[in-house]
Amino acid sequence: MIRRLLPLISLVVLAGCAGGIKPMEHGPAIPVASEPDAFLQSQSQERVGAGLPAVKLLNTGEDAFLARAALIETASQRIDAQYYIWNDDDSGRYLASRLVAAADRGVVIRLLLDDINVAGKESLFALLDAHANIRVRIFNPSRSRDGFGRWLSFITDFDRINRRMHNKTFVVDGLVGIAGGRNIGDEYFDQHPTLNFRDRDVLVLGPLAGDMTANFEAYWDSPWTLPLAELYSKPQQPQSKLSALIESAASRHYQIEPPGDRETARGYLETLFANTVSAPAELMFDPPPEDPDAPAEAPQRTAQALYDLVEDARSEILIESAYLILTDNQLKAVDGIGNGRLEVAALTNSLATNDLVTNHSGYARWRRAMLQQGIELHELRPDAPACQRWVAASAACDGGEVSLHSKAVVFDRETLFIGSFNVNLRSIYLNGETVLVIKSQELAGAVADDIRYAMEPRNSWRVELNGQDELVWRSEGQEVQHEPEVGFWRRAMSRMLSWLPIEKYL
């Protein structure tokens, strides 16, 4: 009898080992001795006119990579970086190496990462954390760090583990910030040889950078954020390994050549800042949950801001979202499209371009309902010629694929809602998100034009219901009655998963 119970007893013991973390009180911060960079100070004062922040869209991976690299070279006081994913690849290691170089000259580095994607990259982050001027913290970690126990924690701590920090911010000296959809990795910066994401960030100067710091510190000081040293051991001989990281990264060839010194970095930034736009803008973020074990049943702050903008829309809403899931509660908010008052069109990934079949299945589950509500749906083609416009390393477009990762909503070509927020249930209820609401016809119109360009038949399939109430995909005179450009098994997997009511967790 006892022998039969052993597997159950083992499971209970493992579940206990994988149990929830204890909230932590954090100690004092590393003191900052230096002053903010004078160049960044003067640029911020010059560009921020009449109290309005200066903002610029970073539409290409090239600009996004160079902006971050140049800001690291220019920093003299502090860098705060908050990311859902930081890959241990060429671009991830390059930017990490430049953070180390900045720390060597006295800049205080605070790196905040969500735990869900740390596994397999922990040696890089443990090495960074070994530097005296760098601190790394992990948001909402599982107690078990690898193997079966880590996966088991996803079950035993289901509600808590589903509360993720999807916010993405990068702030230098409290003066310049970047927020948007990009994580840190080759596929976000036009550096990947075969797969590149179409994404967007916004660079800001002025008080909005301070608001990004408030966003960062809300998570940095959360009791559900743990120092990396509480989770992983310190590496042996860290100083020699840190030096090797800098030397190795500097010796590599990159598709986009980063600035080699501070003077080059400032020259690049001066050109970038000269093309900013002054516009009313507000940063909003979802604070970390006070009790992550509590069920997430109410829309969060960023979702409510989106709802308010939808309610105020007069004629047109354009949605660009990597993952798109609208269910009954959200579709009620756009009832007006049925009487022609409001046109709603959405661009999202096709099954062929979606990096996650699970997420596509949630969209597929509600696709018919969205069409019946009157929403115009477009799904990106993997061979979209738009890749040549979006990706600086255009050779990757010839033999590779482009995938949509950007998240933006444009209202009446006047207001831009942009950031880390996907128009899906996970962003509405579960994830922490950061968005900028920008009132600018120039920027809103530019994003609207780009979304409409991506919706053209050469770049996307339009999904519709035909006369027999069947789903069809139309593009450049062709019509397909199943998910195009994918094999049977991928279609079958998406269909089977779409039968499951799990769309809130995708």
What is the per-residue pLDDT across 207-221, written as a single tens digit (0 to 9) for each?
999 999 999 999 999
pLDDT at 6 over 60: no
Range with the lowest mean pLDDT among 28-37, 226-235, 277-286?
28-37
pLDDT at 144: 75
Whether 166 is a known active-site residue: answer: yes
The pLDDT of residue 450 is 97
Q: Are 154 and 141 in contact (CB under 8 A)?
A: no
Query: Is CATH 3.30.870.10 the classification given to domain 296-505?
Result: yes
Annotated catalytic residue 131: no
DSSP-based three-state secondary structure for 245: helix
Tell me how far apart the alpha carbons of residues 17 and 70 are, in angstroms, rounded to a whole number. Answer: 44
Per CATH, the architecture of 35-274 is what?
2-Layer Sandwich (3.30)
Instruction: Indicate which residue of 80, 115, 129, 173 is catalytic.
Output: 173
CA-wise closest residue to 435 among 197, 181, 183? 181
Q: Is 22 in the active site?
A: no
Length, in residues, of the chain = 506
The pLDDT tens digits for 69-123 are 999 999 999 999 999 999 999 999 999 999 999 999 999 999 999 999 998 899 9
Q: Is 201 a catalytic residue?
A: no
Which amino acid would we find at residue 33?
Answer: A
Active site residue 407: yes
Query: With contact defined as beta carbons under 8 Å apart, do 204 and 176 qualify?
Result: yes
Q: Output 260 or 316, whichever has higher pLDDT.
A: 316
Gap between the Cα atoms of 87 and 164, Å rounded: 17
Q: Which residues contact 66 (CB under 8 A, 6 or more apart)?
A: 256, 258, 259, 268
Range with lowest mean pLDDT among 87-96, 145-154, 425-434: 145-154
In the chain, where are the structural domains located?
A: 35-274, 296-505
Q: Which residues pair with 348 in a beta bridge?
A: 379
Q: How far is CA 109 from CA 32, 134, 164, 202, 206, in A?
A: 10, 5, 22, 21, 20
Query: Which one is catalytic: 89, 412, 439, 504?
Result: 412
Same fold, 35-274 and 296-505: yes
Say which of 186, 201, 407, 450 is annotated catalytic: 407
Q: How far apart are CA 414 and CA 201, in angstroms?
A: 18
The number of beta carbons lying within 10 Å of the beta carbon of residue 240 is 9
**Exactly one of 63, 360, 405, 450 is catalytic; which is it?**
405
Q: What is the pLDDT of residue 338?
A: 52
Q: Is 90 considered catalytic here?
A: no
Which one of the listed residues 56, 63, 168, 450 is annotated catalytic? 168
- Strand duo 134-139 + 316-321: pairing: unpaired
**Catalytic option among 56, 166, 360, 378:** 166
The closest of 13, 50, 11, 52 to 278, measured between CA atoms, is 52
Angstrom CA distances, 360 to 72, 237, 258, 320, 484, stand at 36, 45, 35, 15, 13
pLDDT tens across 334-354, in order? 776 655 678 999 999 999 999
